Amino acid sequence: MSDAMTHTDKTDAPEDETKRDFIFIATGAVAAAGAASIAWPLVAQMGKAADTLAAGSIEINLANIDEGQQVKMLWRGKPVFVRHRTPAEIKEAEATNVAECPDPAEDNERLVPKADGTVDPRFLVMVGVCTHFGCIPLGEAGDFNGWYCPCHGSHYDTSGRIRKGPAPKNMEIPSYTYISDTVIKVG
């Protein structure tokens, strides 16, 4: 027994420090990679689930919306405003000097073209969420005849652009496409 121990001690005697450091680092690296690979699912599970993502698009028939009417549709848990604008509202939106806007954008930049490349200025499609803290603005209201957010007093014009108040940006235009002349698909 004691012979064996002595023998073992002898084989251990010349210590290879480089080899030992390598084993330490390699073991540590494997452990870290293992910890990270189990940590990631724990973090990622909080993201959007497959069914949430699958329910991410809706179709809207524009033919059902009369002039001067606005519809509110629930899309991804948020309202989408589709407003059939009157000629006066369109004129007002197009005539605006965008240099005066906090978030400059021409009216036609806020419209998505149809398959033939033309835009239909009658229909304004926006995410109906104030860019300040996410409240829902009221239609046909505010100093610019567009929308007004009652929470902290942001005024939007007939193109949904922020004109006055604390909101930093224009109301968001969702990604949508015309799947026929009168039907759009949002998302």
Partner 1 sequence: MSGHPSTYEPKYAAEKWLDQRLPIIRMGADFMTFPSPRNLNYWWTFGGILTLCLMTQIISGIILAMHYVPNVDMAFDSVQRIKRDVPFGWMLQPLHAVGASMFFLAVYMHMFRGLYYGSYKAPRELLWIFGCLIYLIMMATAFLGYTLPWGQMSFWGATVITGFFGAVPFVGESLQQWLLGGYAVNNATLNRFFALHYLLPFVIVALVGLHVWALHHVGQNNPIGVTPKTKSDTLSFHPFYTVKDAFALTVFLLIFAFFLFYLPDSLGHADNYIQANALQTPAHIVPEWYFLPFYAILRAVPDKLMGILLMVGAIVVLFVLPWLDTSKVRSMRFRPVAKWFFLFFLVFCFLLGWCGAETPDNYVFKLGDGGLTFYRLSQISTVYYFAYFLVILPVLGLVEKPIKRPESITKSVLGSSAHAPATAE
Residue ranges in contact with partner 1 by CB under 8 A: 46-49, 52, 56, 72, 74, 76-79, 132-136, 150-153, 166-168
- The catalytically annotated residue of 7, 84, 152, 155 is 152
Q: Judged by CB, which is closer to partner 1: 112, or 166?
A: 166
How far, rounded to the nearest angstrom, does the alpha carbon of residue 109 sit from its chain's CA centroid? 18
Mark 158-170 as b/e (b = at least 16 C-beta within 10 Å): bbbbbbebebeeb
Q: How far is the CB of 83 from partner 1 (least distance, A)?
A: 15
Q: Judged by CB, which is closer to partner 1: 130, or 184?
A: 130
For 43, the 3-state DSSP assignment is helix
What gap in Å lies between CA 25 and CA 31, rounded to an integer?
10
Could you tell me the end-to-end alpha-carbon distance of the chain, in angstroms, rounded to an integer? 76
Q: How far is the CB of 9 from partner 1 (least distance, A)?
A: 40
Q: Judged by CB, which is closer to partner 1: 106, or 166?
A: 166
Indicate the helix (H) or strand (E) that contains 80: strand 78-84
Q: How far is the CB of 72 from partner 1 (least distance, A)?
A: 6
Q: How far is the CB of 80 from partner 1 (least distance, A)?
A: 10
Q: Judged by CB, which is closer to partner 1: 25, or 138?
A: 138
- C-beta atoms surrounding 111 within 10 Å: 19
**Whether residue 84 lies in the annotated active site:** no
Q: How far is the CB of 165 from partner 1 (least distance, A)?
A: 9
For 3, the 3-state DSSP assignment is helix
Residue type, 77: G
Q: Which burial class, exposed, middle or buried, applies to 145 when counting CB atoms under 10 A from its CB (0-12, 13-18, 19+)?
A: middle
Q: Judged by CB, which is closer to partner 1: 20, or 48?
A: 48
Provide the annotated active-site residues: 152
